[in-house]
Structure 1
Amino acid sequence: MKYYTIGEFAELIGKNAQTLREWDKKDLFKPHHISPTGYRYYSQEPLNHFLGIRGVEVKNRRIIGYCRVSSYKQKDDLERQIENVKTYMIAKGYSFDIITDK
């Protein structure tokens, strides 16, 4: 399961970290767990809830990476772009397809 830091989670849901800290203090919204050093971590499930994604949708969801160059002369640029997008998608743990355009 993927866990997000308070800053990452706040950015993904369009709030700031202080708001999440206040929600935690008021028992309105709790993190998945708090590390021994006091860092809050949030799981994927509440993120899906905030983004309005249901469980089935998440499992079957695929992300599209779009890579484009203006001309055939830029083939090397396109290849680099594809590799960068692939690296990003893999790092994020996405299930993805890449579409290219020249």
Structure 2
Amino acid sequence: MLGVKKAIVPKKVIGYCRVSSRKQKDDLEHQVEAVRTYMIAKGYSFEIIEDIGSGINYTKKGLSRLIDMICNGEVEKVVVLYKDRLVRFGFELIEQICKRYGVDIEIIDHTEKTEEQELVEDLVQLLTVFSCKLQGKRANRAKKMIKEWLEDDSVDQS
């Protein structure tokens, strides 16, 4: 019995670029250009995935797509400008997933920050995320109260 030959799909090199907010769109463009230039110089055939969102948000569209591609065996290597551009916390977990699927992570700039710099950046990131969640809950509660008030007012006028 003849087996069906499966087409071998070449694995991709993925450049992953992320910034925390839309205000940093210019930084994202500079990051993409730096990663693109690096990968061209290395002779990689590549694709770049861009993300805008917190480094502790693991459900970002681009990161989710990257993880899916890794788990589907589509990725050979992930290239990031800085280690924290992939994720702020939990880099080791992403690294373990990559290792399990035979994917290398290549970090372009290994400039080390002091422990104090990293701690301050991490605290700012955490405070920003949690204050946004708190503000979002307050905003939703206020919208709900206004909606209820408007509904009550329309019932009273009937």
Which bin holds the TM-score, normalised by the shorter protein?
0.3 to 0.5
TM-score (norm 1): 0.42
Larger helix fraction of residues: 2
TM-score (norm 2): 0.27
Higher Rg of the two aligned structures: 2
Larger strand fraction of residues: 1
